Amino acid sequence: MTPAWPGNEPHAPARLLLPAGRIGIEQAAALPGVDRAVEQGRSLVLETASPGKVLRAVDALTGLDGVMTRTAAP
């Protein structure tokens, strides 16, 4: 049995919340690392298992002002 060392546990998916209208949902869904893109209220929510990759892509397109990150609930 593999010991439970930090870093051995599966990574929880992350949700990145962008202000609505920053980029289109189709453009967001095509970003590297985005598993799912949905509009929720005044936010565009990007679900990903690779938040660093997605944050870099969003930063290159629009900057990170107003972007929030959350760990997705199982």
How many residues does this entry show for the chain?
74
Q: Does the residue 7 lie in any domain? A: no
Residue span of the structural domain in which 49 resides: 14-71
Give the CATH number, domain containing residue 45.
Answer: 3.30.70
Residue burial 32-60, b: 16+ Cβ < 10 Å; e: rest:
ebbeebeeeeebbbbbbebbeebbebbee
pTM: 0.80
Nearest 10 degrees: CA dihedral of 50, 52, 55, 57?
-80
Name which of 74, 52, 72 is nearest 64 in CA terms. Answer: 52
pLDDT over 90 (residue 4): no
What mean pLDDT do residues 65-74 have? 84
Q: Does the residue 4 lie in any domain? A: no
Q: Does the residue 3 lie in any domain? A: no
Q: Does the residue 1 lie in any domain? A: no
What mean pLDDT do residues 9-29 have? 88
Q: What is the pLDDT of residues 41-69, one digit of tens each?
A: 999 999 999 999 999 999 999 999 999 99
